[in-house]
Copies of this chain bind each other. A is one copy, B any other.
Amino acid sequence: MTPISLQALADRFELELHGDPDHQISALATLQQARPDTLGFLANPNYLPQLEATRAGAVVLSDQHADRFHGNRLVSRDPYLSWARIAAYLHPAPTAAAGIDTTASIAEGCHIDPSASIGPQVSIAADCLIGERVVIGPGCVIEEGVRIADDCRLVARVFIGRGCQIDERCLIHPGAVIGADGFGLAFENDHWIKVPQLGCVVIGPDCEVGANTTIDRGAIEDTVLEQDVRLDNQVQIAHNVHIGAHTAIAGCVGIAGSTRIGRYCMIAGASGIGGHLTITDKVVITAMSTVLESIHEPGQYGSGIPARPHRQWQRILVRLTQLEDWARRIARIEKQAGH
């Protein structure tokens, strides 16, 4: 990147500068790996010890920690947000040349905007609409009748099933599968029959879908992500799920069919949410929790159990099996004591 002065950063990102306005930044780095020409940041107080030892040419930090560092400082009300904005400015997302790679396979009836970039080994079936500046990276498979709006980026090896719709500025990471059949089975005498999955997947603007994440098409209605939904890697979204705007879901979470998740929810890693539930807005689910009932009040919920030394945990497991007996014993003691 081209070097930039601290004064220029302070002006553009509305930060309070303490130190040398002409100091030049030519890279971003962690506090630990910093050099005099790098900019670092402190958002998580766990890293305060690194702040004291850092060789960074300047640090973005909050007012609260500003006196813990004596070098050049850029003081921000939200250092992590400022850092994100600076990094996005100095390291814009990779672009791709407009046009269709010679190895791509494009079926009839597609409308592909000339500004779009269709990479090598891509397959696009009939009647798709690909918007302006869309990037379809190598190895993506798009089934028939898909619409991908302006400025979306499918990084590589993404699958989009027939008739699905992706709104503007979505970013979809490698291996994501959007619009495969939901898991619909009916039992007939002695075997399963498949329930056709007639809905699609509809994704709002500004969503992000992580690597190897799967979002099933609806059984009858569509599976829906509203705007600015953020899914990490290896998330599983079953058929007919509806996820409200601005909800963020961490890696390895699974959400069963027909569940509605509200807006501004945060679901931590590896949690599971049962089917046919309603989770209201602004619910936080902690890591490795199992949600089996609807949640009607905003707030934090969980059922994850922190690991302990093996022998200690084994003793707890034994005690769990004794609770039924303890209930009787405590009641008997109380009775005897005349409670």
Contacts and interface: CB of A to CB of B under 8 A. Distances in A.
Given A123-B119, A248-B185, A248-B192, A299 B307 contact: no
Interface stretch (A15-23, A63-71, A108-116, A282-290): A282-290
Contacts of A37: none
Interface string A30-55: 10110000000000101000000000
Contact of A310 (B143, B184, B301, B322): B301
One complex includes copies of this chain to the number of 3
Given A105-B138, A121-B121, A319-B324, A256 B251 contact: yes
A158 to B, nearest CB: 9
A166 interface: no
Contacts of A184: 84
Interface string A106-131: 00000000000001111101000000
A243 to B, nearest CB: 13
Interface string A185-210: 11110111111101000000010101
B306 A287 contact: no
Contact of A46 (B44, B252, B276, B329): B276
* Interface size range on A against B: 35 or more
Given A159-B174, A193-B81, A233-B183, A120 B120 contact: no
Nearest to A235: B234
Given A105-B138, A307-B285, A188 B221 contact: no
List 9 tightest A-B contacts by C-beta distance, closest first: A105-B120, A123-B138, A300-B310, A319-B323, A84-B186, A180-B211, A120-B123, A177-B211, A183-B232
